[in-house]
Each structure stands twice: as C-alpha cells, then as structure tokens.
Amino acid sequence: MRKIVFFIGWLTTLAHAGVKIDHWVAPSGARVYFVETHALPILDVAIDFTAGTAYDPMGKAGLAGLTRGLLDAGAGALDEETIAEQLVNLGAQLSGTTDHDRAGLSLRTLATTREKEAALILLRTVLSQPNFPDSVLTREKARMIAALQESDTRPDAIAAKRFSQEIYPNHPYGRTTTVASMGSLTRDDLLTFHRTRYRANRAVVALIGDVTRAEAERIAQFLTESLPTGEANDDLPPVQMPVKHTVNIAHPAAQSHIHIGMPAISRLDPDYYALLVGNYTLGGGGFVSRLVSEVREKRGYAYSVYSYFSPRRFEGPFQIGLQTKREQAAEAIKLVESVLTDFVKTGPTAKELAAAQKNLINGQSLRIDSNAKLLGYLSAIGFYGLPLTYLDDFPAKIKAVTVDQVRAAFVRQVKPEHRVTVVVATDE
C-alpha cells in the first residue's frame, strides 16, 4: 500500500533537455513532432485533436468522451471484435484520452515491419472511418449512465464534479455529463462531432521510437490523409470568475472531501513558471510542501493533501484538495486557508524557493528517461503551441524565478474574492 500518491501536478512533469525534436507540417495539414530513437524496437504514436469535453454542444455533455471511446467500436469494414482481436494478435496497445481541451488515441507497437504496418493501418482506420454502430452505441450509453449513477454515490466524484461546476458557472469547463445529456446522444451527434473535430488540419501527431525521419513523415501523412475535413470553431466563451462561496453537500462518508480553488491560468500564461515554482512549496512538492507539512505531518489530519495548477487552453483551475475525518473538517479547512493566505501574502522563503528550484532543475533527467514520457511532452508541445525549445529552456526558466515573481503571480491568480470551497460529507 503506497505511503502517498504523488501530487506533483501536471505542471511539474513537463520538462526536459537535450532531446532533438523534429517538427514539420504533413501535406494533410497535421502538425508533426518526432523524436528518433533506436534504443528499443518499439514505436509510440499519439494523435490529438481539439475535441475535448469543452466542445460538447449545449445539452450534449458526454459527447466528446463517447465519440473518442467508440472510435474502435467498429470502423471501415471491421467490427469491434475484429479490431480488438487484430490489435491483440499484433501485440499492439491502443489507448485513448479525453480531457477538457483535447481528445485522441495513442498506439504502442513493436517496430518490426509486419506488426508495425498492420497496427498503423488499424489506427488509421479507427481514426478516419469510425462507424459508431447503433447497437454498440446503445450498449455503451447504458454503461456510461450506470457508471455515472455509481459515481454520483461516491464522495470523491461528487466533490470533483461539483467543484468544476461551481468554479466555471456558465462555461463549458464547468459542464458535466448527466443521465439526460448522455441519454440524448445519437449516432448523428457522434458522426458530426467526429467529422468536425477530428480533422487533419487540427491534428497533432507525436511520434517517438525506432523509425527514421523519412519513415515518420510517411507514417504521419498515412495516418492523417484520410481524416475528415469539416469545419468547427475552436473558441470558447471567456471564463467568468466565480464569487467567493462555500457549498456543503450531505453524504454519509466517514471523511469529508474538500476542494478549494478557482480558475487560474492558461497554458501560455506568462505566470506559468512562477506559479509552478511557487506551488511546489505550497502543495505541489509532496512531503516537502507547506500543506503536507502542516496538515499531514504536524497534525495527522489527512492522508492526502495537495495543491496544483492545471493550465488549459483557457483559464484552467487552481485547486487544493484533501480528505479528513468529518468531525475535524472545519478545523482542517481553517488551517488550509491560513496556509494559503499566508503563502499568497509572503511567498516562499529564499530557502524554500531554492529547494523548489533544485528539485525542478535536478529532476530534468527523470522526465526524459522513457519513450512513454517523451511522447506526452511532444503531444503537449504540439497541442498548446509551446516552443520547440521548451524542454531545453526549462531549467533556465525555473532558475530565473524570484520570490517577488512568485508572490506577484499568486496575488494575481489566487484572489480570495474568487475562492470557492466545496465540502462533501459534512456536518455543517
């Protein structure tokens, strides 16, 4: 049983140096990011689209996830069983992700010619020609609804969902799937979403592994040339900042689940590095952070307590989370608020700043030590339009951050008047 799960958020994982990234635009219009490495006989490919949950049409929450989830449920002339069997027979692994901004598939395959070529044909087929058969759609909607109803009984899921709704009132980032919205989805909805969102000129292709540049060019074009060419607007309405408030939700659990936070920064915000470094001291650095020290180590209030910024295309959340015995929830919240207020006011000490910088800079090699990790960076660089030198620049950017910059960034981005608190399973 793990002592702690690592809560160093998404922010702290995106960094590395000394890896040569090739970038080009395929004839299809797809943007391609490639690292050539022959150390292992494998190839990893990820293709992402601006097709995350924020692009669910009004009343159709759940569409992005279901569309991505059913890409391999029948495509071209193949049914879902055939696709599954062929992938397994090749030893290939196909997986998918859907977050607020993006959705996509990734494939890991052996780099031997027969396995690789066959796996890439399958990937191309499921990306370009999904059928979304009615029978599978009916089944999967029923499973999603059952899972949704189940998660609506779990305190962690209730808290996460409600927090999202409360900090993003009237914004797609705050929309969550309901039984009604899932129930309303039709095959036409999925086909339209796919046609307009999975288009070649918005695709980001990340490749790493045992292929040459010339082969990577061929693969990227092969995977994207038959993608749809529909049109869609990628803009979202502006995020409106919430007004400070607290929501208490009854639940019989032994522990209160607490979320505190607000919308903060986009992925390209100039405050990114200052917040990354600062949050390490506040609640991102695990045991060496102030939140863990005060809440867990000194008082034994919680097993897990953390804070993170999760930058998105638009203002992504800043969030503090913890779970504590419900009788002491009020006390724990008071403590967390005082740690936060104090940190925003004074920022890290010079010693804390140095410790954060040491971890982030010295840990550079840990972030580039596997193809799987690098693939994630390639996708993020491509999707968010980060500079190709982003990874190489990272240590210098971290080193340049000052205490004053951290303090100023927190004052700008973590304003008490916008602070939302959600508590599930409370006696309040």
Strands (E), 252-373: 255-263, 305-309, 317-325
Query: Which one, 47 or 322, has the nearer CB to other proteins?
Result: 322
Query: Which one, 272 or 301, has the nearer CB to other proteins?
Result: 301
Residues 16 and 63: their CA atoms lie apart, in Å, by 35
Residues 182 and 275: their CA atoms lie apart, in Å, by 36
Work out which of 10, 57, 84, 330 binds other proteins, going by CB under 8 A: 84
Using CB under 8 A as the criterion, what x/- string covers residues 288-307 for binding other proteins? x----x--xxxxxxxxx---
Residue 130 tokens read as: 């999904």
With CA atoms as reference, report the closest residue to 285 among 205, 379, 371, 358: 358
Residue 310 tokens read as: 């999760």
Work out which of 20, 89, 342, 404 binds other proteins, going by CB under 8 A: 89
Query: Which one, 158 or 414, has the nearer CB to other proteins?
Result: 158
Q: Is there binding between residue 372 and other proteins (CB under 8 A)?
A: yes
Work out which of 38, 85, 268, 346 binds other proteins, going by CB under 8 A: 85
The edge-to-edge listing of strands for the beta sheet with 305-309 is 245-249, 420-424, 255-263, 317-325, 305-309
User: For residue 152, how many other CB atoms are within 10 A of its CB?
Assistant: 12
Query: Which one, 203 or 295, has the nearer CB to other proteins?
Result: 295
Partners of 322 in the beta sheet?
A: 258, 305
CB of 273 to other proteins, least distance (A): 17
Query: Which one, 55 or 301, has the nearer CB to other proteins?
Result: 301
CB of 177 to other proteins, least distance (A): 15
CB of 75 to other proteins, least distance (A): 14
Query: Which one, 54 or 94, has the nearer CB to other proteins?
Result: 94
| Torsion, Cα of 281, 285, 291, 296 (10° steps) | -150
CA 350 from chain centre, in angstroms, equals 31
Work out which of 179, 368, 386, 408 binds other proteins, going by CB under 8 A: 368
Q: Is there binding between residue 399 and other proteins (CB under 8 A)?
A: no
Q: Is there binding between residue 204 and other proteins (CB under 8 A)?
A: no
201 phi and psi angles, rounded to 5 deg: -75, 0
Q: How many residues does the chain have?
A: 428
Q: Is there binding between residue 150 and other proteins (CB under 8 A)?
A: yes
Using CB under 8 A as the criterion, what x/- string covers residues 107-146 for binding other proteins? -x-x-------------------------x--x--xx-xx
Stretch that binds other proteins, among 55-63, 178-186, 222-230, 352-360 (CB under 8 A): 352-360
- Report 240-269 residues binding other proteins (CB under 8 A): 250-255
Residues 3 and 6: their CA atoms lie apart, in Å, by 10
The CA–CA distances, whole Å, from 3 to 96, 282, 303, 366 equal: 29, 20, 8, 21
Query: Which one, 105 or 264, has the nearer CB to other proteins?
Result: 105
Work out which of 38, 334, 358, 399 binds other proteins, going by CB under 8 A: 358
Strands 93-98 and 255-263: unpaired
With CA atoms as reference, report the closest residue to 131 among 187, 53, 49: 187
Query: Which one, 200 or 208, has the nearer CB to other proteins?
Result: 208
Crossing angle of helices 80-90/113-128, nearest 10°? 150
CB of 352 to other proteins, least distance (A): 11
CB of 295 to other proteins, least distance (A): 10
Stretch that binds other proteins, among 234-242, 287-295, 340-348, 381-389 (CB under 8 A): 287-295
With CA atoms as reference, report the closest residue to 217 among 19, 38, 34, 21: 34
- Report 16-75 residues binding other proteins (CB under 8 A): 39-42
Work out which of 117, 218, 363, 388 binds other proteins, going by CB under 8 A: 363
Q: Is there binding between residue 325 and other proteins (CB under 8 A)?
A: yes
Residues 197 and 262: their CA atoms lie apart, in Å, by 28
Residue 206, CB-side half-sphere exposure with 13 Å CA sphere: 25
CB of 340 to other proteins, least distance (A): 20
Query: Which one, 23 or 298, has the nearer CB to other proteins?
Result: 298
Give the number of residues in contact with other proteins, rule: CB under 8 A: 77
User: For residue 203, how many other CB atoms are within 10 A of its CB?
Assistant: 25
